[in-house]
Structure 1
Amino acid sequence: MTLKPSEQTDSSTADAGKATPQPAPEKAVGPAAQRRLFLNLALANFSVGFGAFVVIAILPPLASDLGISPATAGWTMTAYAIAYAIGSPIGVAMTGRVDRRTVLTGGLAMFGVGGLMAALAPSLVTVLGARVVMAIGAGVVTPVAASVAIGLVSAMERGRALAYVFGGLTLAQAIGIPAGAWLGYTLGWRGTFLVAALLTLSSAALLRVRLPIGLVVPITTLRALAQALQRPDLAVALLFTVLFMGGVWTLYTFFGPFFEYRLGIGGTGLGVLLLVFGIGAVFGNALGGRLTDRIGPDRTLALLCLAQMILMPVLTLFPFGGGSGGIAGAALLVLLRSLAGWSFMVPQQARLAALEPDLAPILFALNAAAIYVAASLGSLAGGAVLADAGFGPIGPVGAAIVLLALASLPVARRLAARQQLS
């Protein structure tokens, strides 16, 4: 049976930010149907992940074509990050009563239109506007895809479902960004945005056909959003994401220009290094899960902070030699840094869910927004350092920001303990 959106919950339940569980439509219950839906949701995440982060790989040709510096070109990531950070939690809350298929396909369509705008943009200002449109569309896709995945399985299978769906974002790093580097130097940056737009619009069309209407999922509201934002322990826990990822993004935004300058490599060499980074992302996601199970989320996050504080200064200050030896050394450091960076998501999400399970959907949206706040702040910090002092100090500056993230962990624990006693 297909459920109508109005049948999902009564008004009192919606106000509480939850929906009364009901059976999902028969079409989505079977294992084969679930796998197909998960594959399409993963493709949706891959599409927005590719379009969001591919600018990292195409900053050099974009900057050259528009006649701007790499630091100025970095605003293409910063503008996206700011728009996503503001728009995602608000968009998820405001569309809580809208059918999930409509929200997902609408968000993907908006992202695709933004990609087309970027491909045709005559100036940096127009590119920035297009990136804002893309961010607003993407802001509802990933959190809603996660809520749909959870709604299709039992509580015991939620981890597997989320890993499957979020795997699209990981593959966007592992495959999409290196492919984007090749596309950027082959088709140009405009052609890369065009590919991102077509990929996203195709994903929207597939979900429109395969995702049933009336799926029952927890409903997020502005009231639930306000409730989460008013909790000091949750705010500090989310601040960790801003600080940790902010430190990481000080350098990550400028990977392309950095390695072009340090190693004298072009699109092929950069694509290889980004592929290594993507491989680290895939294994880092699995590593984060194992460490969380063995030593707990807080200890895992502390260990990752220490690793980043060592690796980032080494990466930007290490005197790479020429030839294959320099590229091999850079690849090893990139791999280790990616492992330490992408191990972050699982323990942080486990930590947030443990703090307040009833607010988990909105906390996941806020955590995604916090990542983009971090990306914007990190891009700004890295661009400022690059403009004033070159690439060398970017690593130490990023490490200093991560140190603040490490310091926030005991503060959050104390606040959580007080919340439990109140």
Structure 2
Amino acid sequence: MPVAVRQRARLPAWLLALVFTTFTFATDDYVIAGVLPAVSADLGVSEAAGGQLVTAFSLAFALAAPVASVVTATWPRRRLLTGALAVFVVANWAAAFTTSYALLMGLRVLAAVAAAAVVPAAYAIATTLAPDGRQGRYLALVMGGLTGSLALGVPIGTWVGGAFGWQATFGVGGALGLVALAALLATLPETPPVAAMPVRDRLAPLARAEVLLGLLGIVAIVLGSMMVLTYLAPFLHDLAGAGPVELGWVFVLAGVAGFAGGQLGGRAADRWGPDRALIAGIVGFAAVMAVFSACLLLRPVPLPALLPLLAVWAGVSWWIPPPAQTRLLALAGPAGPQALALNSSAVYAGVSGGGAVGGLVLAGHGSGWLPAVAAAVELIALALFWLAGRRFRAR
């Protein structure tokens, strides 16, 4: 291969640092699902209450992201990212030493606010510094840190928590943040701040009913999926007697299958159209949830027998977002960029809702009801997108 070709193919170090940064934040958000029983038992709260640590993180992110993007719009990007990562590291290491549920909740909120300041800026930097014709590829790589966390970060955090206690999991989260901070300091060039967009302009798409319905559909899609993911530990314990070690391998499987599902969902949206791809994904999700519910009648079910079903669950869960976001873009029309900005908040609102609603189901009816309620929420999402399409065609 000629030297010039090799140089063009080599990814810049700053891009890899941004990928690792989003990987770190996503790991920190999702890893609670892997150590939930241990955290709840040690702090003397129910697993439903422990799951609200995911709710707190995600809700804080959803609320802080649009505010942070406005407040920090004129700040130097390099200083913003490294400063927020420093706060993130402190919040995680402090969490490793706390014995108070309330204090841990506050530290999760602090870590989420730091993440909310970094993640949107990381996406913007990736597209700003990308060579012509590679903006989409660079952005996809940075966003790939999210699915990569399920395949690698969450299993590692789960295994560490099983071997050394859940406090060590937060210690690992802080260490990952420190590595990301050092990598950005060493590789990220200073980029000019972006012009601030007034909050009124950012929220303008909400005035259109079809866009609002589409965003609510995104919330419902993520909420249904996260109900199962957040409480996967108690669900698989009740269904198959799975412990932390087994759960770590399940997260590896879910990450790999989720990555494949996301790629297939994006291709299906291009080839079939977003509506047909969205219907296929949600119907597939509901079918998997129905099989999970049937398996509860046969428990305990050997975990190896559940692995193919878990892989399909992860695949269809990540299949759904690409056609849903493509449909949202079509509904927004010229307001697509603003709608995508609101989409980030909708995603994290769904994550927080998954923790909250799933916690209510778990506390009130047990883990066996999680699949049925999750399927119902996904079907509601499909209805919301159908209503959005009707409003769009009627304009």
CA deviation after TM superposition for structure 1 residue 296, in Å: 1.8
Tell me the residue number matched to 1:269. 246
Deviation readout 1:336-395 (Å, 9 max, x if unpaired):
111011123322333334444765554333222212211222222221122122122221
Tell me the residue number matched to 1:281. 258
CA deviation after TM superposition for structure 1 residue 206, in Å: 1.6
1:54-133 equivalences under 5 Å are 54-133=31-110
Tell me the residue number matched to 1:194. 171
1:41 has 2:18 as partner: yes
Contact 1:224/1:359, CA 8 A, preserved across alignment? no
- Given candidates 399, 407, 417, the residue that maps to 2:383 is 407
Contact 2:96/2:170, CA 8 A, preserved across alignment? yes
Unaligned runs of 5+ in 1: 1-29
Q: How many residues align?
A: 389
1:148-167 equivalences under 5 Å are 148-153=125-130, 156-167=133-144
1:171 has 2:148 as partner: yes
TM-score scaled to structure 1, two decimals? 0.86
- Given candidates 260, 276, 280, the residue that maps to 1:303 is 280
Contact 2:48/2:362, CA 8 A, preserved across alignment? yes
From the superposition, tell whether residues 146 and 374 of structure 1 become closer, same or farther in structure 2 (CA, over 3 Å). Answer: same
Tell me the residue number matched to 2:201. 224
From the superposition, tell whether residues 260 and 137 of structure 1 become closer, same or farther in structure 2 (CA, over 3 Å). Answer: same
1:333 has 2:309 as partner: yes
Range 76-85 or range 107-116, more displaced? 107-116
CA deviation after TM superposition for structure 1 residue 417, in Å: 3.7
From the superposition, tell whether residues 216 and 79 of structure 1 become closer, same or farther in structure 2 (CA, over 3 Å). Answer: closer
From the superposition, tell whether residues 144 and 231 of structure 1 become closer, same or farther in structure 2 (CA, over 3 Å). Answer: farther
CA deviation after TM superposition for structure 1 residue 154, in Å: 5.4
From the superposition, tell whether residues 106 and 96 of structure 1 become closer, same or farther in structure 2 (CA, over 3 Å). Answer: same
Contact 1:56/1:254, CA 8 A, preserved across alignment? yes
Contact 2:89/2:178, CA 8 A, preserved across alignment? yes
Contact 2:61/2:345, CA 8 A, preserved across alignment? yes
TM-score scaled to structure 2, two decimals? 0.91
Tell me the residue number matched to 1:138. 115
From the superposition, tell whether residues 275 and 240 of structure 1 become closer, same or farther in structure 2 (CA, over 3 Å). Answer: same
Deviation readout 1:191-213 (Å, 9 max, x if unpaired):
11011011112212221232111
One-letter amino acid matched to 1:315:
F
One-letter amino acid matched to 2:270:
D
The CA distance in 2 between the partners of 1:242 and 1:155, in whole Å, is 33
Tell me the residue number matched to 2:354. 378
- Given candidates 28, 31, 36, the residue that maps to 1:51 is 28
Range 393-402 or range 54-63, more displaced? 393-402
SS of aligned partner of 2:302? helix
Tell me the residue number matched to 1:388. 364
From the superposition, tell whether residues 265 and 380 of structure 1 become closer, same or farther in structure 2 (CA, over 3 Å). Answer: same
CA deviation after TM superposition for structure 1 residue 271, in Å: 1.2
CA deviation after TM superposition for structure 1 residue 264, in Å: 1.5
Tell me the residue number matched to 1:344. 320
- Given candidates 182, 185, 194, the residue that maps to 1:205 is 182
Contact 1:260/1:270, CA 8 A, preserved across alignment? no
Contact 2:17/2:183, CA 8 A, preserved across alignment? yes
1:294 has 2:246 as partner: no
Range 252-261 or range 32-41, more displaced? 32-41
